[in-house]
Structure 1
Amino acid sequence: MKRYDGIQALICSAVLGMTVTPLGANPAGADVEPSPAQQILSPSNEAGAVFGSHLSLSGDRVAIGAVTANTNGIEDAGAVHIFERVGSQWQHASQPIPSDPGISSNLGTVALQGTRLLAGASGQASGIGAAYIFERNPAGDWIQQRKFVPDNPTTSCVLTNGCHRFGIAVALDGDTAVVGASRENDRKGAVYVFVRDALGNWAKQQRLVANDSSTYPHFGAAVALQGDTLLIGAEFQDVSGVTYRGATYVFTRTVGTWTQRARLSAADGEARDNFGSTLALDGDTALIGSRLANLAGQNNRGAVYAFVRSAPAVWNLQARLNASDGVGEGPADHHTGDQFGLAIALRGDTAWIGKSPGNLTTPLPDRYGSVYQFVRTAGLWNEMQRFTPATGSPGDGFGASIAFDAKSLLVGAPYEGTSPGEPAERGMVYAYTLPQADLIFADDFES
């Protein structure tokens, strides 16, 4: 089993800026873990599967990725498991399997909406990659409807981890599917948009690229879609001559055509901040992760930037969110620090943000992952609570993936399995039942 390079740090058209809104104080009891917590495991309980690497929640179903699981005896083919909520418990329902699982396909990036699933396998065909659409039939079986691949697929490049990595990120909204290919065109990257017609046929609508690509921006390593708005992360984009500062691009669709509207970056960004490494979008609010951002002289503490759209092409910075207990570490490389912003989930005025320190040389108290709840009130974001699981272990990756709704919070710990007797790096997902008081949604949000 080899480490999957798409989990960005589990081992590891103007630039907008304004004064950052300060965070409020933490309430009493901020470090108390919600109870009870269901610990969801893969049915195979397989070592090295990194179950929980990706999550997508829709209604009473959640899709859970395990990007280095063995499937049908095929090493590192990856897997996706569907669990369904029955009462307050999650039960395994299905494992959709593509028609052509392959060695090191790394199936496991997921986007779930109702009875439709989009799953990416960025390692398929020696790193060309693929993505698959599944539909759930009345009997509860998930049937593959279509396989997507990039234009002009090739393995003739100097990159050791694939020439396209199509499927490294996926997003789904209604009859629109989005697939990132962050290594395409010598790591400049591209994003593909596919649409489904009234007869149920899927076809490519457009291939998107940035209008100002730098050397190796990895455009498409993260995507977020809602309606006719699409966010695309390019975490290694050079900005104002600063290497790997990172940027996020906003595209909107009008009459079937996607147009780049804006490029967002951090006004206080530095080299190798990886701004755009994670994304969340809800209405006119975008949360953008900068998992290696520095703060107060501490390297790689991580940050999340909140932008709000005031006009079709105008996004204003509303706040920079930081962990109240954050720490940095060591040189400014990708192996150290908290990496706050490694995962983001947003609904209305509530956000959950994960951190998962990526260096096993970090002192033990700082090697545990955590999740943080932020709530926006009258335009101000405040950290309301944070916690680390009581049963967690250092280095288990808790906080590497997050999904939540009006009932539940799910948090991935894909490297769980660090205790004696446990399958190493099997992975786990923690499921928490949330009190309604913990959630604040926008007035027009349907929960």
Structure 2
Amino acid sequence: MFTRAGTSWTQQAYLKASNTGAGDAFGASVAISAHVLAVGATGEASAATGVNGAQADNAAPGSGAVYVFARAGTTWTQQAYLKASNTGAGDAFGASVAISAHVLAVGATGEASAATGANGAQADDSAPGSGAVYVFTRSGTSWSQHTYLKASNAESADAFGASVAISAHVLAVGATGEASAATGANGAQADDSAPGSGAVYVFTRSGTSWSQHTYLKASNAESADAFGASVSIDNDFLAVGAPGEDSSSTAWGWLESDNGAPGSGAAYLFERSGGVWSQDAYIKASNTGALDAFGARLALSGTTLLVAAASEDSSATGVDGDGANDAADGSGACYTASW
């Protein structure tokens, strides 16, 4: 944990799980809101369920866990140890986390129920890797699971929960393995003709109940695009990354369908108006290259968007260097856009 004083950053804390074990992958995901921090550990192996259960049995390898830390002054302490309500080996609970005030969302991409919607049957395990999201709420210093969410078209290998983002009463969930060839909002979900194209599901909260509001697809949805690998939401704007997208277009792109740069990646910006979500922009890197994975991670703040391309190849350093030299394979880059 690092903090800033003026223009200087210093390490404030070094955090570990309360039940550290080999292969736990503590830190697979992180999210922070004010003085509360959530950390995912997708390889954690306890078969416990719920909050602050038995941590040491290691009977469910890869089930995953989330650890909540709270800060008092400059001191961080673990506040809660969270597990899914239907813990299962290989569920990867903690693959993604998002926190806003007293609400925490946790993705479990390996979860296997074929349930759909909110609080469905959790135990059937007939759809391996369909994925789930668990919403926890905090009262005082106590956390409890509030809602168990599934996609409206849950199927094996959809990886629902690959990414999560929350803003006030709106939750966005990415499912990178989803297979529909639909485009835009609320299209046909059942055709399965574009494996791995990916989708994003927007849920809204009314009172204490969460329900699916919108099913989003890219404007150029195609197999293996992994739309939904990253999501970020800020009020009426939602950004979605698709690191497998293939167009060779650049910047605020328009050539969506040429597929001349496989795996170059793209980001999509959606805006909500009158309760309806629609795509505003299709965004590419300024130096688009095959396999750059632009959109692997992104973050949105107001009208500024930061997009990572984890496999970009330039050996440039600092800000606005030469993006065209490709002399450092997989060095990676970040890009900012504003509107």
State the 1:279 CA deviation.
1.7
Which ranges of structure 2 fall in alignment gaps of 5 or more residues?
1-6, 46-54, 183-190, 249-259, 313-325
Aligned to 2:56: 72
Aligned to 1:327: 289
1:46-70 residue CA offsets vs partner (Å, 9 max, x unmatched): 5433232111111022211121135
Which amino acid in 2 is paired with 1:42?
K
Distance 1:149 1:72, change over 3 A: farther
TM-score (structure 2 length as normaliser): 0.61
Distance 1:120 1:304, change over 3 A: closer
Classify the secondary structure of the residue corresponding to 1:57. strand
Which amino acid in 1 is paired with 2:295?
G
Aligned to 2:81: 96
State the 1:231 CA deviation.
3.5
The answer as to 2:229 corresponding to 1:277 is yes
Percent of aligned pairs with the same amino acid: 24
Which ranges of structure 1 fall in alignment gaps of 5 or more residues?
1-33, 130-147, 176-199, 329-336, 381-447
Instruction: Please tell me the root mean square deviation across aligned C-alpha atoms, in Å.
Output: 4.6
Aligned to 1:51: 26
Aligned to 1:365: 328
Aligned to 1:349: 303
Which amino acid in 1 is paired with 2:179?
Q
The answer as to 2:285 corresponding to 1:311 is no
State the 1:348 CA deviation.
1.6
Once the two structures are superposed, the pairs formed by residues 31-46 of structure 1 within 5 Å of their partners are: 36=9, 38=11, 40=14, 42=16
CA distance in 2, matches of 1:154, 1:163: 13
Which amino acid in 1 is paired with 2:42?
V
Aligned to 1:408: none
Which amino acid in 1 is paired with 2:81?
P
| C-alpha contact (below 8 Å) 1:113/1:172 kept by paired residues | no
CA distance in 1, matches of 2:92, 2:103: 20
CA distance in 1, matches of 2:104, 2:79: 12
Classify the secondary structure of the residue corresponding to 1:55. strand
Once the two structures are superposed, the pairs formed by residues 250-265 of structure 1 within 5 Å of their partners are: 250=202, 252=204, 258=211, 260-261=213-214, 263-265=215-217
1:96-120 residue CA offsets vs partner (Å, 9 max, x unmatched): 1549976545332433344554545
Which amino acid in 1 is paired with 2:266?
A
CA distance in 1, matches of 2:138, 2:292: 35
Which amino acid in 1 is paired with 2:99?
L
| C-alpha contact (below 8 Å) 2:292/2:311 kept by paired residues | yes
CA distance in 2, matches of 1:65, 1:249: 21
Which amino acid in 2 is paired with 1:308?
E
Classify the secondary structure of the residue corresponding to 2:228. strand
State the 1:280 CA deviation.
1.6
State the 1:265 CA deviation.
3.1
Distance 1:103 1:116, change over 3 A: same
Which amino acid in 1 is paired with 2:25?
V
State the 1:327 CA deviation.
3.5
| C-alpha contact (below 8 Å) 2:198/2:217 kept by paired residues | yes
Which amino acid in 2 is paired with 1:72?
A
CA distance in 1, matches of 2:21, 2:157: 35
